[in-house]
């Protein structure tokens, strides 16, 4: 009898190599493993996790286990599971229920399997595990000391639940750690989106006019990187303050109606629908490349593109050519889905290092202090952000100054006036 279900256990060796590679890029996780391997803060804990089964997540799983926890895991998205990584984890003895391309029943079956050992802690990305416990197995909640949530959407829904008094145990909003969301959005999305564009097209970025729709954290991250690759970057915005920020950061701002005529490459990062529509497609230059890195695939109106185009063909993976009535060609990447996930590999390990250090430390905090926490959504423990940032800096050999006692006193002195 096996305590796992993966696509192909034969992929384990390949998966092990991927995990080792990630470990070599995740120094914060490795230092936590060394420190907490000795003190065993998670001894006696049973952690059910529901989070993308990737090489980085495998590093988190191994670290939780080294700190003393028993683990049971499923993926939080039917398409994000790396089958070789799942196989490697299963071969190491971890109960993993995840394979690429699960259907809805298989997805929830996998979550149910991870709950069989009656977890004492839950670790979520999108809150499906917490929701399954609350809606389907509420009797399990009495064993659960607490949980964590990785994403903005999950945290949002859990806060609503907490506000209505519906949460059966405390949850820490890992997403809201500064060393998580800011680094994910700016540097993770920034690099991986450029990576997706390059993999799908292999175009030269230098000298291109690069249009970023939305100058939020993600848009800004992509703009920063595009600039670094030698693009002329244009941003479009609906928010005056974001537009001003872009302008003062050396990014030209204009309406999409204008940008559409001059852009070589377009990427949407707004979270809003219908950012690029028919009239924009019609005014684009021949050869324009368009893609999206926002969460939903409604930012580019693909239905209108399909309607207006005379023909369509696949040029190479994640790259479709649409022929416009005027003869111009438009290249849509990854069918308008997140180009950084569909055409690349998501956030690099170095970024996940910090997100998952926050997950790990939050798990340790819950194991120790969870019993005393209110059944609501909590911020990460005080000092944790700083600890993660300091560990990351130290892994890079970077030291920073410390305020002296005199300087601290100066900071708090209101008697001195000017």
Q: Shortest Cβ distance from residue 53 to ligand 9W1 (Å)? A: 8
**What part of residues 71-90 is at the interface with ligand 9W1 (CB under 6 A)?**
77, 80
**Residue 52 binding ligand 9W1, by CB under 6 A:** yes
Residue 149 in contact with ligand 9W1, rule: CB under 6 A: no
| Cβ nearer to ligand 9W1, comparing 256 with 267 | 267
Nearer of residues 4 and 356 to ligand 9W1, judged by Cβ: 356
Stretch of residues binding ligand 9W1 (CB under 6 A), selected from 52-60, 166-174, 202-210, 255-263: 52-60
Q: Which residue is nearest to ligand 9W1 (CB)?
A: 346
Q: How far is the CB of 360 from ligand 9W1 (least distance, A)?
A: 14
Rule CB under 6 A: choose which of 16, 46, 62, 347 binds ligand 9W1: 347
- 352 is an interface residue for ligand 9W1 by CB under 6 A: yes
Q: Give min distance, CB of 361 to ligand 9W1, in A.
A: 17
Estimate to the nearest angstrom the gap between the alpha carbon of 50 and the chain centroid. 14
Give 157's Cβ-side CA count (13 Å radius).
13
Please give the radius of gyration of the chain, using alpha carbons only, rounded to the nearest integer: 23
**Residue 155 lies near ligand 9W1 (rule: CB under 6 A):** no
Q: Out of 12, 27, 54, 196, which residue is the one contacting ligand 9W1 (CB under 6 A)?
A: 54
Q: What angle do CA 289, 291, 295 make, to 5 degrees?
A: 175
- Contact status: 345 vs ligand 9W1 (CB under 6 A): yes
| Separation between Cα atoms, residue 30 and residue 59, nearest integer Å | 8
* Interface with ligand 9W1, residue 182, by CB under 6 A: no
**Stretch near ligand 9W1 under the rule CB under 6 A, chosen from 199-207, 344-352, 365-373, 389-397:** 344-352
Options 48-56, 105-113, 313-321, 404-412: segment touching ligand 9W1 (CB under 6 A): 48-56
- Applying CB under 6 A, does 199 fall inside the site for ligand 9W1? no
Burial of 123 (0-12, 13-18, 19+ CB in 10 A): buried
Q: Which of 23, 56, 237, 385 binds ligand 9W1 (CB under 6 A)?
A: 56
- Alpha-carbon distance 355 to 177, whole Å? 8
CB nearer to ligand 9W1: pick between 158 and 344: 344
- Span near ligand 9W1 by CB under 6 A; candidates 51-59, 155-163, 166-174, 221-229: 51-59
Q: Where does residue 304 rank: exposed (0-12), middle (13-18), buried (19+ CB within 10 A)? A: middle
- The yes or no reply on residue 62 touching ligand 9W1 (CB under 6 A) is no
Closer residue to ligand 9W1 (CB): 58 or 309: 58
Rounded to the nearest whole angstrom, what is the least distance from the CB of residue 346 to ligand 9W1 in the complex? 2
The 10 Å Cβ neighbour count of residue 10 is: 11
**Minimum distance between the CB of residue 2 and ligand 9W1, rounded to whole angstroms?**
24
User: From the CB of 56, what's the least distance to ligand 9W1, in Å?
Assistant: 4
| Residues of this chain that bind ligand 9W1 (CB under 6 A) | 52, 54, 56-57, 77, 80, 341, 345-347, 352
């Amino acid at each position: 009898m096996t305590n796992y279900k993966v696509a192909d256990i034969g992929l384990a060796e390949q998966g092990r190599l991927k995990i080792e590679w990630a470990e070599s890029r995740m120094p914060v996780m490795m230092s936590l493993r060394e420190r907490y391997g000795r003190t065993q803060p998670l001894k006696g804990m049973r952690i059910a996790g529901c989070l993308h089964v990737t090489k980085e997540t495998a590093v988190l799983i191994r670290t939780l286990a080294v700190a003393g926890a028993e683990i049971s895991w499923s993926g939080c998205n039917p398409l994000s599971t790396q089958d070789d990584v799942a196989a490697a984890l299963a071969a190491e003895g971890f109960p993993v229920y995840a394979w690429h391309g699960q259907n809805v029943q298989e997805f929830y079956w996998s979550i149910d399997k991870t709950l069989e050992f009656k977890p004492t802690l839950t670790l979520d990305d999108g809150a499906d595990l917490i929701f399954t416990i609350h809606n389907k197995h509420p009797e399990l909640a009495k064993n659960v000391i607490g949980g964590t949530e990785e994403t903005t959407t999950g945290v949002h829904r859990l806060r609503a639940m907490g506000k209505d008094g519906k949460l059966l145990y405390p949850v820490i909003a890992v997403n809201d750690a500064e060393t998580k969301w800011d680094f994910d959005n700016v540097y993770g999305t920034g690099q991986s989106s450029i990576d997706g564009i390059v993999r799908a097209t292999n175009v030269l970025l230098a000298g291109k006019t690069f249009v970023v729709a939305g100058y939020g954290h993600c848009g800004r991250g992509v703009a920063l990187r595009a600039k670094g690759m030698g693009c002329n970057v244009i941003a479009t915005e609906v928010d005056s303050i974001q537009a001003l920020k872009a302008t003062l950061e050396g990014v030209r701002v204009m309406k999409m109606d204008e940008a559409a005529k001059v852009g070589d490459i377009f990427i949407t990062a707004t979270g809003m629908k219908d950012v690029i529509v028919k009239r924009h497609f019609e005014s684009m230059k021949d050869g324009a490349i368009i893609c999206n890195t926002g969460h939903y695939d409604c930012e580019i109106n693909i239905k209108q593109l399909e309607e207006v185009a005379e023909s369509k063909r696949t040029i190479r993976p994640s790259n479709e050519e649409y022929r416009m009535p005027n003869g111009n060609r438009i290249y849509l990447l990854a069918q308008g889905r997140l180009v950084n996930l569909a055409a690349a590999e998501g956030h690099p390990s170095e970024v996940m290092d910090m997100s998952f250090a926050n997950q790990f430390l939050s798990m340790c905090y819950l194991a120790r202090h969870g019993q005393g926490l209110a059944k609501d959504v909590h911020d990460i423990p005080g000092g944790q952000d700083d600890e993660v940032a300091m560990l990351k800096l130290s892994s890079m050999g970077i030291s920073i100054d410390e305020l002296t006692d005199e300087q601290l006193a100066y900071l708090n002195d209101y008697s001195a006036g000017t």
